[in-house]
Amino acid sequence: MRRFGDLEMKPNSVIHLITGLDTGGAEMMLYKLVTNDSFFKHSVVSMIDIGPVGEKIRAAGIPVYTLKMQRGIPNPRAIWRLVDLLRKEKPKILQTWMYHANLLGLIASKLARVQCIVWGIRHSNLNPQGNKKLTIKVAKWCARLSHFSSAIIACSEVSRKVHIILGYRPDKIIVIPNGFDLKTFKPDGSAQKKVMDELGLSPNAILIGLVARFDPQKDHTNFIQAATILGRRFSNVHFILCGDGITSDNQNLFRLVKQSGIGDRIHLLGRRKDIPKLTAALNIASSSSSYGEGFPNVVGEAMSCGIPCVVTDVGDSALIVGDCGIVVPPQNPWALAEAWHKLIEIGHKGCRQLGRVARKRIEEKFSLNEIVNQYELLYKELLV
């Protein structure tokens, strides 16, 4: 047993409940937290299937369970599966991630008499055009029930403000941003040549990248329109896109690429397992999102690799970048292209210097060790 003051820590002290374990920002932060925190013992429960991140967590020796729900289909039996698990494992804390897990976890924690229920919120807006009706309803229900939570972790300042307006208890909300693994995401002088060789590019190519699944909020249309504008100015600029759904089999995306007129310089790489290498290979990294971002991991990961970023002013992107990159309005491809142009003009030496400052900013404000410590401290304070 380990002790914190008079607190006796028991195995499986924290169970995490999350909707699914695909490769989104919440899932990756959960993975980093449970594999780097040495004070508490963690278990993870997915409401639906295990998913690729769940497999990574399980491979790290951390128990992963599933409630066997189907996405979008309520299942009352899942509550009792979760209650049975909580009664068996007897965690001190149930940490839930995002609205559906927050609601389900609150009900189950009361039935199983779990000491603390900590919610996680990550949305930066609840616009009907970008969110499902059920998601908005559940978010509003949770606002009314937020006083029953022990604490609410928001991943961004924007998310905190949005949810206070929605009716969430402001005294319950604490902001803990995503943290970045500076050992995994780091400058790599050999990465660019490896990627250029893979794609058959000339040594003078300039690589601008977007790491994002195909989703309306990521606004690939904005990125490709900006790529079209810049591509007409520079014949040696290539655009690297990767993530779920980023392949030529995606007809909507492929149509955009074909219409751009520079399709031979837009590379669709799909889901990749070598994101640190791809990121470190870039000259410029981008986030082109139009809405919905809270605290985008890809921006901090690029900065950790020493890559300057151009980001749209969505969520906390501007807060992450600070003065180490360029922030532009969303849904404005001309502004995005112009910002890329500015970074190209400062040259390789200027970009490298900006990248060094960017990595330093992540080290000082968003290192994974610091963020994991913030989670630990909150958990400990709740249990004392």
Q: Residue range 138-149: average pLDDT?
A: 96
Query: What average pLDDT does this structure show over 7-18?
Result: 70
pLDDT higher than threshold 50 for residue 183? yes
One of 3.40.50.2000, 3.60.21.10, 3.30.300.350, 2.60.120.10 is the CATH number of 2-179+367-383, namely 3.40.50.2000
Q: Is the pLDDT of residue 251 over 90?
A: yes
Cβ proximity of 374 and 151 under 8 Å: no
Q: How confident is the model at residue 13 (pLDDT cuts 50, 70, 90)?
A: confident
Greater pLDDT, 197 or 133: 197
User: What are the C-alpha distances in Å from 29 to residues 123, 203, 210?
Assistant: 15, 35, 19
Give the position of tokens 């001309």: 334
Q: Which CATH architecture group holds 191-365?
A: 3-Layer(aba) Sandwich (3.40)
**For the chain, domain boundaries:** 2-179+367-383, 191-365
Burial of 76-105, coded b for 16+ CB within 10 Å and e otherwise, reads eebbebbbebbeebebbbbbbbbbbbbbbb
**Count of Cβ atoms closer than 10 Å to residue 204 Cβ:** 7
What φ, ψ does residue 9 adopt, rounded to 5°? -90, 130
Residue 5 has pLDDT above 50, yes or no: no
Helix (H) or strand (E) holding 97: strand 93-97
Structure-block tokens of residue 104:
């389900």
Instruction: Average the pLDDT over 100-111 and give the result.
Output: 96
Are 2-179+367-383 and 191-365 in the same CATH fold?
yes
**Helices 133-145 & 99-112 angle (0-180, nearest 10):** 40
- Say yes or no to pLDDT of 130 above 90: no
How high is the pLDDT of residue 125? 78
User: Looking at residue 6, what is its pLDDT?
Assistant: 41
pLDDT for the residue numbered 21: 86
Q: What is the pTM of this model?
A: 0.85
Q: Which two tokens stand for residue 70?
A: 């189907």
